[in-house]
Each structure stands twice: as C-alpha cells, then as structure tokens.
Structure 1
Amino acid sequence: MDLPPGSTPLGCKWILKRKYKADGSIDKYKARLVAKGFKQKEGLDFFDTYSPVTRITSIRVLIAIAALYDLEIHQMDVKTAFLNGELDEEIYMEQPEGFVVPGQEKKAYDSPPAKTPVDLNLHLAKNKGESEGQIEYSRIIGSLMYIMNCTRPDIAYAVNKLSRFTSNPSKNHWKGLIRVLRYLKYTSNYGLHYTRYPAVLEGYSDANWISDSKDTKSTSGYVFTIGGGAVSWKSSKQTCIARSTMESEFIALDKAGEEAEWLRNFLEDIPCWTKPVPAIMIHCDSQSAIGRAQKWYV
C-alpha cells in the first residue's frame, strides 16, 4: 500500500528459532518477522508504554513462601496475549529484503568445564581495535542475562562485567564469555532451592572498590533470601565515584536498602505472611560502612 503523507515506516528483521521435542531432537523451525520498534519516538509514534507484567523477583518470593507453608503452586498462562493486543496508533513497516543465511556460529559445547565464572588472570578493557563478532556476542550476552535473572545469581557479576563491552568486543572479551559458558556447563545441575528454614527475609550486600585501574567506578552487589534460597539479586556498576572502600560498601548498602524496602512492601500484601513485616536484616562485611549506616540512622 502507499505510505500516507507524514508517516515514517519502521524497518524489520527476521527472528529465527528452533522448536525442540522432549528428546532434544528438532521438531520444527520458526521464523517471525518483527518491526524495529526501538526506532519509534515517544510522543510521536506511541504514547502509552505500560504493560502489566510481574517482576521475576515476585515469582521467586511466592515460590519461596509456598515452600515455607507447604502450599501447592498452580500456574495459569494466556498464550499469545501480547500478540492479541489492540493498537490505537497506525504503524507502517517496510517490506523485508529477504532471508539471511547464517554462517557458522561459534560454539562452546566442546570446551572443557570451568569451576568459576571469572578468570582472575584475564584483563578486560575497552577494545580499541576492530570488533570480534559483535552480533553473536550480544546474542549470547542476552541469553546469559535471561539465565542470570531467572535462576543463576552466581553469574551476575561476570555477566554484568562482560555486558559493558557489547558494542565492541575483543578476543579477550570472547574468552571471558566462553569462560562463563564453560562454568554453566560445569554447574548445569545448580538451581534455586527453597526450604522451610530460615523462614525470614534477609539480605547480603557487598562492593568491589575500583578493581580496574582504568575504571574509577566500583561494582555493587546484593542478594536476598527466603527459606535459604535466593529471591532477589543484582550486580551493577555504581553511578558515582567512591573515594574509599567504605564509600563503595555504603553505596552498595543503599541499593540493597532500596530493594529491601520493595520486598518488605511486597510481603505486606501477602495474606499468609506475618504482620507487621519486621525490619529486614542486611549483612555487610565492612564494619566502617555498618558504623556509618548506624550513625546516619541515629
């Protein structure tokens, strides 16, 4: 059809997937043509971006509570819910140019397993040369982020570190990426396990103060557990420069405190959880940061 005056068409791309059977053999191939919605401008191409989806943290908290009280879990799913939504705006998309035949992808299936996700002897810095497989690197990072966000807090630091070089990865960055895949191969039986004890929500906070001389910003990390299993975790680069180990630990405590407040409010809405929800204990290995936090609290 002819493009209406004043309209700008979006580009498109193919998403190719394999569907597998229960025995691991290929069932069928699927191809989906999608619009490049990231090129839309708010206020011009769209106005409302709200989507009523839950945080994965909420799901893990409910699973942990079910383990505490020996409850049965029932799941309901509305298939293709997002595909059946109605759009208020008219969207125009360019026709696809054709199919792209992928080349030989880099694989790590034959690599030996690794016992840790990070190689301490591998130095990661910005790549000033040509990019090494940037698209494939980004795809693997995205897959690792999904695994990390759902069930693997132990790779959070490694994935966060490697994701900083997605725009221009080098051979060293690929080595770090393969290391994480080797670690996942070695720990393929790892998962989240929730029990009835301890029946409390508690957190742990830590920070890595300027581990790289070329990067003056530290890394924060926290994890919260219920029934001995992790329900919320995060590893992220701090947005401001910490002038000491104590400051970096204090900044990490602040982020952990924000998440603790969210979790506490969430538990207030759970009928079977003890009310009022008690204060959440956050463990920290820096006595100076704990002292400063207590001083500010008083």
Structure 2
Amino acid sequence: MTTRSMNQIFKPKQLNSVSKHPLPQTIEPTSVSQAISQSQWREAMSTELTALMKHGTWDLVPSPSNCNPVGYKWVFRVKRKADGLMDRFKTRLVAKGYNQRPRLDYKETFSPVVKPATIRAIMTIAVMNGWELRQMDVNNAFLNGELTETVYMMQPSGFKDLSKPTHVCRLRKAIYGLKQAPRTWYTALKNAILQLGFHNSKADSSLFIYSQGIEVVPTQAGLFLSQHKYVRDLLSKTNMSAAKDVSTPLSTSQSLKLVDGTAPVDSSDFRRIIGSLQYLSLTRPDISFAVNKLSQFMHKPTQTHWTATKRLLRYLKQTIFHGIQISKSGLPLLTTFSDADWAGNVHDRTSTSAYISFLRSTPISWSSKKQRAVARSFTEAEYRALANAASETMWLQNLLKELGFPLKTAPQLLCDNLGATHLSFNPVNHSQPVPHPRAFVFRIGFLLRPSSCAKGTGADGTVVGMSEGGGEYVWVEPVGVSSIWGLMGGGETEWVGCVGWGVTGWVDCVGWGVTGWMDCVGGLLGNWVGGLCGMGGNWVGGLWGMGGNWEGGLCRIGGN
C-alpha cells in the first residue's frame, strides 16, 4: 500500500491564523496604582467618575453609628467590537454587593432576561419582511435605576474628598455590583418604554435587543449570526489555538461517567470554560448536546472530562466560522423536531430530551436537557421529549402571534418514534408512569415511517416525504380542524378519538365531533370496502380517505 508520506504528500502546517483585523495586545491593569500610571486609564477613570456625578449617584454624608458601608472595586476592560477591533478603554466602579445584608440593604433582586429564542425569532421576521435592524446601547445603564433602600459605600480611592475624609457615600442610584441593581434598571427601562406606547409581551417581557459578542453580518440571502471572534478568544485563553482539528464535538467510543478513576482537575477553570461554551451555544446548536453533557460534571471534573472538553474546543477550532444563516427563502412555517437518547447517562440511566424549532429554514430555538425521571422504555423517553417540544412550539406560536406574525398554517411537530406518536393519540392505560396524554392539547400531525409506503406529493402539503437513514418519512396533517386531543375533546371542530397502525394499514377507529366513537366499525357518509371504514370519501386500495381518496398507498386528507 502506498501512503501519502511515501509520495511526499504532507498536510501543510498552519503558520498564521487568519483574522479580518489584527488584534493588538493590550494589558489590562489589575489595580488602581497600575491604572493611574497610564494616561489612557486615568482618562477612563475620570470619565466614569464624571458620569457617576452627573447622574447624582451618591451624596457624601457623615458615617452613621449603625452604618455598614459596602466596599468598592475598580474594574478595567478593553472594549472591542464584534469583529475584534478595539473600541475604547473602559473602567467601571462597582460596589461589593456581597457585603450587603438581606432585608436591610436589599429586598427584591429578580430581573427578567430576554430569551435567546425571542431574539432569533425577531431577527428572522425582520429578514423575511425586509425590515431594518437597529441596535441601541445605554451608557451607564444601571445608574438610571432609583434605589428605594438606604445603602452606604466607601469613598473610592484616588477620588476621595480631602475635606471630608471620614464621610461615606449614601447611594441614590443603583451602582453596578449591588444585588438590586439589575431589577432597578429593568423597572426604569420598562416604565420609560411603556410611556412611549409600548406594551409588555405576555410570552416574553423583555423584547429589547442587545447581542453582546454576536456579529450580525448582512448577506444576499439575509443575515448571518456568528461568534467567531468569541471562539478565537476562547481558544487563546485555553491555549488551544494550535490544537489539532476534529470533526465531531464528542467522541462516540467513550461514555462519560461521574467517577472514572482518573485524576481530578481544577473545577474553577472547568466551570469557567463550560460557562463560556454555554454562551457560545446561543448561535451554535451543533454543540448544545455536548455542552449539556459536560455541564453534568462541573462539581467534580476529572482528567477524562477535561479531555472531552478539549475535544469540543478542537471541534470549535475547525468550525470557527460556523453560525446561523437567517434566510429570506422558505415557507412561513414553524417546524419542531423532537428526539431522545434513551438511558444514555451511564451513571443514573436517565435519558436526554432534545428539540430544535425552525421558523422557515432558520433555527430559532433548541434545547438538550437531561430528563428528571428514569424512562422504562424508549417510547417513554421519546414521549417525554415530545412533551417538552410541544410546550416550546406552543410558546413560540403565541410569541409570533403577539409580534403580529400569526402563522397561516399549523406548526409541525415531528417525532421519529412511532410508539410515542401512537401513544399521544390513543387513550390507552399503561402501567408505566408516562406523562398523561392530556398534555397534548394542540394541533398535531404524524411523522411515520411505514415499512412499505410510497412517497406522496401534494400541492396542499398534506402529504410530504422526507428521507432519513434510508427510510421514507411521511408527514400527514389533518386539515379543517382546530385541534387534536390525545385523549378526548368536545365540539364539532375537534378530533375525538385515536388512530391505530397495523401491518395492513390503518385499522383502528376515528370518531368525529358529537357523533362519537364508531367502535372501530361502521362508516360515516362513506362506503365500506374490505371491512374498513371511510369518512366522507371512498376506499381505494384497502385504505380509508376522508374528504378524498387514497393515492399510492398514502392518505391525502381534503384532496384527491
């Protein structure tokens, strides 16, 4: 056998990493004394203090007898743009909020955060409608929030009032670092936006957009979301810039365990890297499962877990320019794919649920999470994953409706497990503790892969064939009804009943509205052929049609 090395064929060595702009090396000071010795940092500190005084952040008062002033800290950062170019020298005076006392120095601290799916959905809608996207940044945002509690802070070093050296700062505004600062800022921003005529979304109360570190590049097809600069910085911090590339995020030949006999590693470094990878997954659904798996070992990581993390970083090095393409093309359809990994966790034999939702051809929401309970069968694991996917699909549908973009067609929920699909439509009492079929109260269709079934095409889209793994998937969506309930329902516009699957086709019963169950026998507005029923149509090829006829062994509902 002749190898490439024998023919003097070698892989070229990478001498330089390609970058759109050179990244200057600027050392960030770690103390006030280091910062004061450099003119650019002194100017940045003066700018920060001027902004604090302009907003009336504090008053100098004599220190009360029962005063518990919180400390402070100067933070120095070099702000860069999404493409890596240096923007400005930034300093921030922050309070040491961990010195605050509960119920005395602060009360409520909760502040809502926008869901990543909301941002991606809005961007996708903007591209489809040709809207202009604008981004706004609020300088010293937290200083707009008014404090309702009495909080004292020490005077910052380097800017003390020499005439009042023993005085303390009584805070009027929510300076950065206070536990209640995010909540006060959100309250101030919300009130200002409401005064302009806006209203809160019921699906997501934070619809203002700010994407830090995510580069949005306009293309001929739409927009491209990327975090390649973030990946490059992460590889540099972990000394993985020169590592060998790999083509998959995780190894398929090794199962990660909590206890594997290898030496432990520094948990703080491991947690910091996993946190960075979780933020990166906002635009990288391909690493969602790997990040979820590695996150399960943050409390006590070992050398094996660190090796798996380095493999994920090597995969990111190969796919550094990957991201999300928001395209103008495609049908205005919301599609969600559901899947599960049964008993994939070797430690406790729990399963993993996963889904990904597409608006047109753009992924806008995805998740990969460990199931809380142990599934006794593959069908049960898929059923639980299907319930999570259904919940997210319904939430996205409501969000799009509130944004003034109602879907003209019902969302599609696709599952590749026939048992889970059958279970969601049949009122069968099972001994296994699976979720109750009442959890599925939405309009749903089937994704089937029968052993012998021709690939159907229809202008109305009721029968669609998709190829995966050599098999034919068939999408069958009921048309002309408002909802399908897995167990039971009422009303003339709802499905009430079940559909079964047998070796000779559909063999179980379908009930309609107030007419009720047909007990698997009998026909309604149709004729019997071969012992099976038809509803509003005739039998062709031994299968049933509803409002139409069968063609090629597949059902087309509402058509011929």
TM-score normalised by structure 1 residue count: 0.82
- What is residue 284 of structure 1 aligned with on the other side? 415
**Cα distance change of structure 1 residues 22 and 292 upon mapping to structure 2, 3 Å threshold:** closer
- What is residue 124 of structure 1 aligned with on the other side? 256
2:386 and 2:105 map into 1 onto residues whose CA distance is: 40
1:242 and 1:12 map into 2 onto residues whose CA distance is: 50
**Paired residue secondary structure (1:194):** strand
- What is residue 99 of structure 1 aligned with on the other side? none
Q: Which residue identity lines up with residue 175 of structure 1 in the other structure? A: T
**Would the aligned equivalents of 2:262 and 2:304 in 1 still touch at CA under 8 Å?**
no
- What is residue 193 of structure 1 aligned with on the other side? 325
2:417 and 2:82 map into 1 onto residues whose CA distance is: 48
- What is residue 203 of structure 1 aligned with on the other side? 336
Indicate the structure whose relative CO is greater, using CA pairs within 8 Å and at least 6 residues apart.
Answer: 1
Deviations 1:55-113 (A, max 9, x none): 221110011112222222222332332354233234567999xxxxxxx9642111111
**Paired residue secondary structure (2:147):** coil
Deviations 1:189-231 (A, max 9, x none): 2111122203211101111111133222111111100121100
Work out whether 1:253 is the aligned partner of 2:407: no
Work out whether 1:63 is the aligned partner of 2:129: no
Q: Which runs of 5+ in 2 are unaligned?
A: 1-61, 157-235, 427-436, 438-485, 488-560
Of residues 265-274 and 202-211 in structure 1, the stretch that sits farther from structure 2 once superposed is 265-274
- What is residue 231 of structure 1 aligned with on the other side? 364
Q: CA deviation at 1:251?
A: 0.6
Q: What's the RMSD between the two structures over aligned residues?
A: 3.3
Work out whether 1:177 is the aligned partner of 2:309: yes
- Aligned match for 2:137, one of 77, 89, 99: 77
Deviations 1:14-70 (A, max 9, x none): 866444478857777766575675797875654323435422211100111122222
Q: After superposition, where does 1:32-43 map in structure 2 within 5 Å?
A: none
Q: CA deviation at 1:157?
A: 0.6
**Would the aligned equivalents of 2:380 and 2:420 in 1 still touch at CA under 8 Å?**
yes
- Aligned match for 2:292, one of 143, 148, 160: 160
**Would the aligned equivalents of 2:262 and 2:303 in 1 still touch at CA under 8 Å?**
no
- Aligned match for 2:111, one of 51, 62, 67: 51
Larger Cα Rg: Structure 1 or Structure 2? 2
Of residues 182-191 and 81-90 in structure 1, the stretch that sits farther from structure 2 once superposed is 81-90
Identity %: 38
Normalized per residue, the structure richer in helix is 1
1:14 and 1:174 map into 2 onto residues whose CA distance is: 33
Work out whether 1:142 is the aligned partner of 2:275: yes
Q: Which residue identity lines up with residue 82 of structure 1 in the other structure? A: F
**Paired residue secondary structure (2:326):** coil
- What is residue 373 of structure 2 aligned with on the other side? 240
2:418 and 2:333 map into 1 onto residues whose CA distance is: 23
- Deviating above 6 A after TM superposition, structure 1's stretches of 4 or more consecutive aligned residues are 1-4, 9-16, 25-29, 38-42, 92-96
Q: Which residue identity lines up with residue 268 of structure 2 in the other structure? A: I
Of residues 241-250 and 29-38 in structure 1, the stretch that sits farther from structure 2 once superposed is 29-38
**Cα distance change of structure 1 residues 74 and 292 upon mapping to structure 2, 3 Å threshold:** same
Q: CA deviation at 1:272?
A: 4.1
1:129 and 1:92 map into 2 onto residues whose CA distance is: 49
Q: Which residue identity lines up with residue 283 of structure 2 in the other structure? A: T
**Paired residue secondary structure (2:388):** helix
Q: Which runs of 5+ in 1 are unaligned?
A: 97-103
1:129 and 1:257 map into 2 onto residues whose CA distance is: 40
- Aligned match for 2:147, one of 82, 87, 95: 87
**Paired residue secondary structure (1:241):** coil
Deviations 1:223-258 (A, max 9, x none): 100121100011111111111111111111111111
TM-score normalised by structure 2 residue count: 0.46
